Amino acid sequence: MAAFDIDRFVEDCRQAIAQDPTHKAAREVVARAVSDPGAVLAGIGEPARAGVQRIYRSSTLTILNLVWGPMMTLMPHNHRMWAVIGIYTGREDNIFWRRIDGDPHGRIEAAGAHALSVGDCVPLGRDIVHSVTNPIPRLTAALHVYGGDFFADGRSEWDAETLREKPYDVEKNLRLFEDSNARLPAG
């Protein structure tokens, strides 16, 4: 396989959604990239800290290099757009949630789970609600491709204790990555 080139990856994702605005073509691009995790690591670099690196952002496409801190959890949230996640180092556990019919507070209940390891690439539909945990004691990194502007308003998150729906707080969730970095061993 050729070395991972971030500019080529962005262009391939842009072409994929131009051909097919669903997740299908984008999934093929991400799957091809993470099938050689060593090349991705060589092209992006070994992750040193948790964070959300914005690689590309438009109204129709967002590409992130997302690095989860050790044992980090992001509570249930939705994207309101399709997503494709490809793991290139570490592991990510997803819990999938569904709305409780008729609940006046928009509460949710667990409905399934999926563990992702190096080389795995999965699509998430636009209506999926999921929480994410990095269950290992080291950093986990993944390419995330979204079929829209990931940072736009209009998404939801659910309270960790009550599982009640509320507006998604981008800044609060970005701080979780920095909080995770504060717990990393010095070195």
Q: Tell me, yes or no, whether 130 lies in a domain.
A: yes
Asked if the model's pLDDT at residue 89 lies above 60, the reply is yes
Q: Tell me, yes or no, whether 60 lies in a domain.
A: yes
Mean pLDDT of 144-160: 93
- The predicted structure's pLDDT at residue 155: 93
Q: Tell me, yes or no, whether 26 lies in a domain.
A: yes
- Two tokens at 22? 């669903």
**What one-character-per-residue DSSP string does 100-144 give?**
PTT-TT--EEEEEEEEEETT-EEEE-TT-EEEEE--SSS-EEEEE
Q: Tell me, yes or no, whether 32 lies in a domain.
A: yes
Q: Is 89 helix (H, G, I), strand (E, B) or coil?
A: strand
Q: Tell me, yes or no, whether 1 lies in a domain.
A: no
Instruction: Specify whether the CB–CB gap between 129 and 110 falls below 8 A.
Output: no
CB atoms within 10 A of CB 135: 15
Asked if the model's pLDDT at residue 187 lies above 70, the reply is no
- The predicted structure's pLDDT at residue 153: 80
Q: Is 98 helix (H, G, I), strand (E, B) or coil?
A: strand
Number of structural domains in the chain: 1
Q: Tell me, yes or no, whether 115 lies in a domain.
A: yes
Q: Is 40 helix (H, G, I), strand (E, B) or coil?
A: helix
Q: Is 96 helix (H, G, I), strand (E, B) or coil?
A: strand
Residue 157: which of 74, 76, 95, 101 has the closest Cα? 76
The model carries a pTM of: 0.94
- The predicted structure's pLDDT at residue 186: 77
Q: 90: domain range?
A: 6-182
Instruction: Specify whether the CB–CB gap between 85 and 101 falls below 8 A.
Output: no
CA dihedral 143, 79, 165, 51 (to 10 degrees): 30
What residues pair up with 74 in beta bridges, in sequence order?
132
- The predicted-structure confidence for 1-39, as pLDDT tens digits, reads as follows 578 999 999 999 999 999 999 999 999 999 999 999 999
Q: Tell me, yes or no, whether 101 lies in a domain.
A: yes
> Which CATH number does the domain housing residue 38 bear?
2.60.120.10
What percent of the chain has pLDDT above 90?
A: 91
Mean pLDDT score across all residues of the chain: 95
Instruction: Specify whether the CB–CB gap between 116 and 87 falls below 8 A.
Output: yes
DSSP H or E stretch at residue 12: helix 6-19
Mean pLDDT of 156-182: 93
- State the Cα–Cα distance between residues 137 and 13, nearest whole angstrom: 31
Q: Tell me, yes or no, whether 187 lies in a domain.
A: no
